[in-house]
Amino acid sequence: MSEIEVWQSVVLGVVEGITEFLPVSSTGHLTITEQLLGLDIKDEAVTAYTAVIQIGAIFAAIIYFFKDIARLIKAWVAGLFSSSARQEPDWRFAWYVIVGSIPVGIVGFLAQDLIKGGLRSLWVVAAALILWSIPMAFAEHAATQVKGEQGLTMKDSIIIGFTQCLSLIPGVSRSGATITAGLLRDLDRVTATRLSFLLGIPALTAAGLYELKDAISGPSVSTVALVVGTLVSFVVAYAAIAWLLKYVAHHSIMVFVWYRVALGFGIMALLITGAITAY
């Protein structure tokens, strides 16, 4: 196949930046976009490329939440040496983020061949978009939203962390999985969304760095394409984070549910008519 061109990198960077933190599945959108751009989604370098440009979106989250991250790191380090510091809420919250990030890292590493293979089928993406919309809608309906950040427990973090593993199925959405689990654990939307962002930083950074070698080793991906895609995803993701946090503070997530359902059935229609292929 031909090398990914700069304009294609811009398009993919925009798609990644918009969808990484919205509950609509960035992997699913990137897979669809790659097909529409004529790229070979079976090419390991292209698959790795999509993981690498996520680093741009993750850096956007790191910068957006820099004060929070610095505060949590400071509290965690202090707690290692001081018993009084271990009584602080930030010490506990730092551990919640650490523990909640572990399951998806382990499962993602062990199941990487499956994730890069059969699960990238657009039939899987379409089905996951539609089916995961059901628990999202139920969570929005059933959520009490009585707990803020101070009410978070280790049990909540573990449950949300394991639910994040479902996002390894393209179409489910990492933020869709974690926000849904957070709402079902009675967290308010803003707390569930902020926690979703923080839980995504370690796992997605590790995944992007791990895939970097495959992305730069293939002839289909140039260093320029990687840099452009990553920078564009950074800028767009920063804006998307700011918008989403403001949105969920006053609105339900049902707009994303209806979008997911419409997109899922739209993909199926394109597959049935032969306009696009599953791989």
Its pTM stands at 0.87
pLDDT(1) > 70: no
Q: Which tokens in the block code for residue 35?
A: 């097909």
What average pLDDT is seen over the chain? 88
Q: How far apart are CA 169 and CA 160, in angstroms?
A: 16
Residue 1 domain-assigned (yes or no):
no
Q: For a pLDDT cut of 90, what percent of the chain falls above it?
A: 60
Residue 197 domain-assigned (yes or no):
yes
User: What is the pLDDT averaged over residues 103-109?
Assistant: 86
| Residue 120, pLDDT score | 74
Taken as a whole, the chain contains a residue count of: 279
Residue 63 domain-assigned (yes or no):
yes
| Residue 53, pLDDT score | 87
Q: With contact defined as beta carbons under 8 Å apart, do 60 and 238 qualify? A: yes
Q: For a pLDDT cut of 70, what percent of the chain falls above it?
A: 93
User: What is the pLDDT averaged over residues 71-89?
Assistant: 92
Q: How far apart are CA 72 and CA 60, in angstroms?
A: 18
Q: Is 171 left (phi over 0), alpha (psi -120 to 50) or beta?
A: left
| Residue 215, pLDDT score | 58
Which residues lie closer than 8 Å to 251 by C-beta, 6 or more apart? Answer: none
| Residue 155, pLDDT score | 95
Q: With contact defined as beta carbons under 8 Å apart, do 51 and 201 qualify? A: no
Residue 75 binned pLDDT confidence (cut-offs 50, 70, 90): very high
Q: With contact defined as beta carbons under 8 Å apart, do 2 and 102 qualify? A: no
Residue 124 domain-assigned (yes or no):
yes
Residue 278 domain-assigned (yes or no):
no
| Residue 223, pLDDT score | 80
Q: With contact defined as beta carbons under 8 Å apart, do 157 and 99 qualify? A: yes
pLDDT(115) > 80: no
pLDDT(104) > 80: yes
Residue 273 binned pLDDT confidence (cut-offs 50, 70, 90): very high
Q: With contact defined as beta carbons under 8 Å apart, do 214 and 44 qualify? A: yes
Domain span including residue 127: 6-273
Q: Which tokens in the block code for residue 74?
A: 């400071």
Residue 157 domain-assigned (yes or no):
yes
SS3 161: helix
When divided into structural domains, the chain yields a total of 1
| Residue 116, pLDDT score | 64
SS3 145: coil
What DSSP designation does 5 have? P
Query: How confident is the model over 206-227, as pLDDT tens digits?
Result: 776 766 666 566 555 678 888 9
Residue 142 domain-assigned (yes or no):
yes
pLDDT(257) > 90: yes
| Residue 49, pLDDT score | 80
